[in-house]
Amino acid sequence: MKKLLIVFTCFMFTTLSAQISIGPRHIGKSKNFPKGRIDKFKKTETIFVLSDIIDVDVYDQILNDSWDVTPYKLVYRDEFNPLNYLDGNYSFANLEGHHVVKTMKSGAQVDYIYIYIKFFMYDAENLKKEISKLDKKSKKYEKKLNKAISSNKESLARVDLFPKDTFLPTALSSSSSEIMDSIYSTDVFYNYKPGFLKNYFQKVNNQLKLGEEYWMYDNDYLPELKKLANTTLYIPNYHLIKYNAWRGKDKKDKDSFEKVFEDYKYNYEFLDQDEMDRRILAGEEFYYLRYVRVNSQKFIHIVNSKTGEVIYRNYVAGIMSSYNIKSRHVDDINSKIKKALKK
């Protein structure tokens, strides 16, 4: 399999992130797309630069089934020169991430890891001006070039990834290049799977086609949720892995998860991730739970596997001792299904 190229990336500081966020910004308060940005985007070709843990043929199937808002292309390391894509005719989807260290009032330091698939364009006109002013003979040329490229990105969307605990030591102690090498070449995320990617890309694609923002710090549900009263909610097996915030370790704990879910009033069933991927890629329709933890924040979704639509979402700003799904979150799902049935 060919190696997929790492597009220019940079490490930035921020305080929030989201499982899926579609708009010109992804932190602070929701903001509408600037006038003309979506029209500009729809005239581009989207360059996808993704992890090489998934076979190229599978990526082709995923994108063929999920992406039609623009033409698209997968780009590989030996074929790619970033400077050839800065003329305004391209948009991008690539992996990015950053590590933030915060000092609390007590003096203690807390680490935050944010890694995501980012969809963006460049402000080509301004970027060209900035590059033209750079001295190629300067020792700081590469650093200034990367800064210019980063500062001229125009955001479209991002999909946050849920790292496995085995990756955290690498993320906390390695250089930026080592971190990026890991996320492009190693299976280090719970939600970077073919089926999930298809549904994520469907959601981003459909929102951008409509030109509508999607603010992921909202809590809501669609009338479609009422179907769960008479159908099975599937739960990917990674939900059985329980995170201990104090030890910084994950472990498989089916009994604890089943105890949390024992008050779910309808049918649910665990499903192996490979089987879930197969069924999603085959276009089967069912509903599944998709839980993503970003540091102490929780994003609990119920997704239509055929359309990629999020029919239920619950954003929980957690604390250090509350990284896992709790009984109260299951109660909220029950409550929303009950409300949907009454409408």
Which of 41-78 are b and which e, b meaning 16 or more Cβ less than 10 Å from the residue's Cβ? beebebbbbbbbbbeeeebeebbebbbebbebebbeee
pLDDT of residue 192: 95
With beta carbons less than 8 A apart as the criterion, state whether 267 and 234 touch.
no
Pairing type for strands 153-160 and 45-49 reads unpaired
* CB neighbours of residue 121 within 10 Å: 20
Per DSSP (E only), the strands in the chain are: 20-22, 45-49, 72-74, 90-103, 109-122, 153-160, 220-221, 233-236, 241-244, 249-252, 268-271, 287-294, 297-304, 310-317
Residue in 232, 240, 242 with CA at minimum distance from that of residue 302? 232
What percent of the residues of the chain are helix, what percent strand, and what percent coil, each to the nearest 5?
35, 25, 35
CATH number for the domain running over 220-342: 3.40.50
pLDDT of residue 301: 94
pLDDT of residue 14: 31
Q: So where are the chain's domains?
A: 20-210, 220-342
Cα(193)–Cα(305) distance, rounded to whole angstroms?
13
pLDDT of residue 115: 87
Cα(121)–Cα(43) distance, rounded to whole angstroms?
11
- The rounded average pLDDT for each run of 10 residues, N- to C-terminus, in the chain (343 residues) is 36 40 64 89 95 94 98 81 86 85 75 86 91 92 90 92 82 76 89 96 96 82 97 91 63 80 94 96 97 80 97 78 79 96 89
Cα(212)–Cα(51) distance, rounded to whole angstroms?
27
pLDDT of residue 250: 65
pLDDT of residue 12: 31
| Angle 270-271-272 from CA coordinates, rounded to 5° | 130
Q: What are phi and psi of 184, to 5 degrees?
A: -90, -20
Strand order in the sheet with 20-22: 20-22, 153-160, 109-122, 90-103, 45-49, 72-74
Cα(227)–Cα(341) distance, rounded to whole angstroms?
8
